[in-house]
Structure 1
Amino acid sequence: MSTLTGNALVKPHLGKSLLAVAVVTAAILMIPLVAMQFTREVVWTGSDFVAAGVLLAFAGLVLVAALRRLRTAKSRVIAAGVVGLAFLYCWAELAVGIFTHLGS
């Protein structure tokens, strides 16, 4: 998160942003890992975790890069929306193959 001090916009160090992406990715991947311990409805293999991790990390890194480069709030919201929609499309495509048969 960037802060406004006077007339200058201070960005967080890139290392903190990358660490945040890694922590959020790991936290999201913990959800199916924990769910697998309590129900047989969630059955993920190692490749499922790798695919989800790559997809989450890539989306996070693209979002960090876009937010660091763009200046206006409107352009940042649009970029976040585009990254979010691209993530959802790829996730759905890999899961069930909406437009292709990648997930089936």
Structure 2
Amino acid sequence: MNIIAKKPASRVFLGTAVLLMIPAIAMQFTREVNWGPGDFLVAAVLLIGSGLLFQAAMSKLSTRRFRLAAGSAVVLGLLLVWAELAVGIFH
């Protein structure tokens, strides 16, 4: 695997780390944010999985319309899973 192929994945991992720093820092200042190790693990898996799926879709699809549809589906799927895990909107 060459450096070009590794670069998008490293951006996904870096972006995930930056996003996960938000609740980690918030936990230092308020008791309203109370994440455990499992919460960080699930969030990391969701964000990394969605990011890599998004990158794969963007590299495989050729037209702007298909890219927009695939990107929207990935983001919508991520938000639905996140909302279900956070508050259980579907039960």
TM-score, reference length from structure 2: 0.94
1:57 to 42, 48, 54: 48
Which structure has the larger Rg?
1
For structure 2, the residue ranges without an aligned partner over 5 or more in a row are none
Q: For the aligned residues, what is the CA RMSD?
A: 1.1
CA distance in 2 between counterparts of 1:40 and 1:95 reads 17
Q: Which runs of 5+ in 1 are unaligned?
A: 1-11
* CA distance in 1: counterparts of 2:88 and 2:49, whole angstroms: 20
Tell me which of 13, 18, 23 is aligned to 2:14. 23
Q: CA deviation at 1:82?
A: 0.4
Identity within the alignment, %: 48
Paired residues in the alignment total 89
The structure richer in strand per residue is 1
For 1:42, what is the secondary structure of its paired residue? coil
Report whether the alignment pairs 1:95 with 2:90: no
User: TM-score, normalised to structure 1's length?
Assistant: 0.83
